[in-house]
Structures are given as structure tokens and as C-alpha cells.
Amino acid sequence: MTAKRNVTKEKSGYEPHQLTWSDEKVDRLWEYYSGCEAYRKEYFSYQAGRIVLDQIERYVDLRKFSAVLDYGCGPGFLIEALLERMHEEQKCYGLDFSRQSVELVEEKFAGHRIYGGTVWTENLPSHYRDESMDMVISLEVVEHLDDEKLKGMVREIYRLLRPRGYVAITTRNRENLDRNKTLCPECGAIFHRWQHVRAWTATTLRRYMETCGFQTVHIVESNFASKYQNLVKCFLKLFPHKKNSLLYIGIK
């Protein structure tokens, strides 16, 4: 029986192995997710974007900024939430590395009086001008990036921000990466289903951003649930009250 299984494995090319991410593989995954209606509601920005903005506004007045950028905007759920609370003298912009996501955002918001456009960026720096943004918000991006791309992202945010401009970043808190890994039964590739490649804590995120030149305004561990959701969870004891997300706010 063992010999027969080994022969089958050799013929099929199946061999369990850790997937090595490339730009092409990342694009394939996220173009699939952004183009699949069923997956769109899994985006963090869809589930918690408005709650994150509520948290940010405890420390930063979004309405005083003339230009706000959603860095890594995906299908545009956070942009939609921003447009709901920004006034006519402001502009909201987007940036993403998925061409399909950018097309979706442009189709959805083109013509909105506050929407300033979204750019598809293959390589950094992007087409936005130096010091053109008052605030950059990036939800659940930094956990996807290797060392080189992470450094490039934070350097780009710093370039885009005006002096005393703000950055807000969310990511998973103390994530166990192995818990969200899956295996392709055809080729044997083992990979994180959301393409996460690194885990963060409040300490490591603060330290990294400060090393890159930002001054920390606030960093908080949260589950980004509404007060009502937390009350229901505590009352019914359905889930442990875990602070599984981080929000970092910094100033240039």
C-alpha cells in the first residue's frame, strides 16, 4: 500500500511544501479574492472599516484634512466609509497593487464629488506627488509584506505625507500564522489563506514605525467590535474577549 501511494505521488507531482510567494502569485490570489463576490465580505475593511475610523477619530480629526489616502484600498470598502463622513472641501484617494481592485473602485466611485481617484501601482514610488497627503490609512497590509516591500511601503507613506501628516495602520495582533495555513491538494503548496507572511505585536509595530521616522501618537490592541457586539458576546459568552487587532497612529 505504501509503495503504491509513493508511485501515485511521483506521477502526480504532488509534494507538500511551503509556498514561496512571488509578485505573480500574490496577484493571482488577490485578483481572485477581489473578483469573487462571496469573498468580498471577508475583507477586514468591509467588516470593521467604520469602527476603525471611529477609533481613529478619538485621536485625529479627519475632517480637518484636505487629502486622505487609503493605501492598499482593495475593493474600496474603507473609501466608501470615508466618503460618508468627509465634507465637500476634502478629497479621498486610493492606491492598490491589484489592477482588478482599482478598476472596481474606479467604477464604483467615479464622479463622486469627494472622490479624487485611485491609482494602480506596480512599483514604488507611486504617481502621487511628494507631500500631497494629510493622512494615509492602511488597513491590514503590513502583515503581507516581506522586509523589502515593508520598507518600501513605509518609505512611500513618509514621502506622501505633508509635514505633521498622520499615518494610521491596522494589522493582526500576535497572530499565529500556522493556524490560517492551508494546503493545495493538487500540488501540495502550503500557504496562509490570506497571504500573511509576518506577525506583529504592539511593541514590534511601534518600534518599526519609530525606526522609520514616525512619532507614535497612539497604539491600541482591540477587537474592533462595536460596543453592542461586545455586550452580546460577553452576555452570551459565545467567544472569549480577545484583542486580536492593532491600531497604530503616528505623525511625520
pLDDT of residue 11: 53
**Which neighbouring-strand residues pair with 173?**
200
Please name the residues in contact with 137: beta carbons below 8 A apart, sequence gap of 6 or more. 56, 68, 69, 70, 71, 78, 82, 167, 168, 169
pLDDT of residue 241: 52
pLDDT of residue 13: 75
> What's the fold here for domain 15-251?
Rossmann fold (3.40.50)
Mean pLDDT rounded to a whole number for the chain? 89
Window from 26-40, 117-131, 183-197, 229-243 with minimum mean pLDDT: 229-243
pLDDT of residue 243: 80
Domain ranges (residues) in the chain:
15-251
- b/e 31-59 (16+ beta carbons within 10 angstroms → b): eebbeeeeebeebbbbebbbbbbebbeee
Q: Read off the amino acid at residue 171.
A: T
Q: What are 219-242's pLDDT values in tens digits?
A: 999 887 544 344 434 444 444 456
For residue 27, report the phi and psi dihedrals to the nearest 5 degrees.
-60, -40
Which of 40, 29, 68, 59 lies closest to 162, judged by CA?
68
pLDDT of residue 7: 46
**What's the rounded mean pLDDT across residues 52-62?**
95
Q: Read off the amino acid at residue 32.
A: Y
- CA 125 to chain centroid, in Å, comes to 18
Q: What are 198-213's pLDDT values in tens digits?
A: 999 999 999 999 999 9
Measured distance CA(76)–CA(85) in Å, rounded: 15
Measured distance CA(187)–CA(190) in Å, rounded: 9
Window from 4-13, 38-47, 90-99 with minimum mean pLDDT: 4-13
Q: What are 79-135's pLDDT values in tens digits?
A: 999 999 999 999 999 999 998 899 999 999 999 999 999 999 999 999 999 999 999
Joined together, the cell numbers standing for residue 122 give 506596480
